[in-house]
Amino acid sequence: MSAPLVTVCIPTYNSEAFIAEAIESVLAQNLTAFELLVIDNCSTDGTRGIVASYAARDARIVFLVNSANLGMVANWNRCLAEARGAYIKYLFSDDLLSSPDALERLLEPLETDSTVALVASARHIIDAESRPLRVLSHFRDGAVVDGERLVRRSLCEQRNLIGEPTVVMFRKCQAERGFDPRYRQLVDLEMWLHLLEKGKFAFIAAPLTSFRVHSDQQTQKNLLQMTQVDDMLLMLDEYLSRPYLRLGRTAREFLYYNQYYRLWKARRAGMLSRDEVFSRMAGRYPAWKFMALLPFYRIYSPLWKLGLELDKAGSR
């Protein structure tokens, strides 16, 4: 078979409640030059039977089952390795392509501009019954942003401005390194930073995809454990040495301290104990140092946020 233009990757595990709707949203696309690669990570529910029934009816669907559960990130990477398309579009098994022209519109900036390495759209946030809750969008329509500038903004704001894997498309050849298995919560953001060092970011303000929120998803479990703090600290270690970031010593120290302050707030909210917080800080901030710096952080933090607001105009 000739190689498809786009591979839509659905890594799945115990997704019987949502997987049919996800597959249907791909099969409804106007662009037909795709393969739909579904890799099941040893589901114990009815997921396999549902996917197999679709694969039997449509030759564009490639269905693989892992011989053992690889874990989330390793399954994402197997999808990437097995994909035959030049362009990669992830779709989580509980999410949707919410427009029949989603693949076409995400593909266009990559096909027309070789300097673009990553494309994303706005997305609907939907609930377990697929009811729309709101639309998320952080850039103006048609924005093309310098990749390194967006890496800097993402690290300084310490959040994923681009979105989840469901909202993006990129070239396989630029992502062959794979997702970094050291990360658990921010594994997608770290890949976006990796790609942004290779080229520009293009944004489409139409909500072409839908990201589902529900209590069973791994993201919600990680948030309760404040896993994102550990991941952001690892990301700061990885990326703050880049010379193009042009961040001074005070700014860099603030970014680290801000993550530990999030742990401190989690303690006040009853999510973590005092001992847990200071244990996780111990490698960089002994308890006495963290408390001594707290008044300075509270003075500096509003100034930092003001600086971010002034800087946003250049990357929207």
- Asked which of 179, 201, 219 is the last residue of a domain, the reply is 219
**What's the pLDDT band for 224 if we cut at 50, 70, 90?**
low
Residues 287, 180: one domain? no
What sign does the dihedral 200-201-204-209 (CA atoms) show? positive
**What's the pLDDT band for 82 if we cut at 50, 70, 90?**
very high
**Residues in Cβ contact with 289 at an 8 Å cutoff, skipping those fewer than 6 apart:** none
DSSP state, 314? G
Would you state the pLDDT for residue 315? 47
In a domain, 13, yes or no: yes
Q: Which range among 68-77, 176-185, 215-224, 300-309 shows the weakest confidence by mean pLDDT?
A: 215-224
What's the mean pLDDT in 161-169?
A: 96
In a domain, 10, yes or no: yes
Residues 262, 153: one domain? no
What's the mean pLDDT in 193-212?
A: 97
311 neighbors 297 (Cβ within 8 angstroms) = no
Domain hosting 135: range is: 6-219
What sign does the dihedral 69-83-217-31 (CA atoms) show? negative
- Tokens linked to 239: 């990326």
Residues 120, 213: one domain? yes
Q: What is the CA radius of gyration of the chain?
A: 20
Helices 19-27 and 47-57: crossing angle in degrees, nearest 10, is 20
- Total domains in the fold of the chain: 2
Q: Which range among 163-172, 280-289, 305-314 shows the weakest confidence by mean pLDDT?
A: 305-314
In a domain, 239, yes or no: no
What's the mean pLDDT in 123-137?
A: 92
pLDDT tens-digit readout, 2-58? 789 999 999 999 999 999 999 999 999 999 999 999 999 999 999 999 999 999 999
In a domain, 224, yes or no: no
**Residues in Cβ contact with 286 at an 8 Å cutoff, skipping those fewer than 6 apart:** 278
Would you state the pLDDT for residue 306? 81
Would you state the pLDDT for residue 271? 87
What's the mean pLDDT in 171-183?
A: 97
152 vs 216, higher pLDDT:
152
In a domain, 36, yes or no: yes
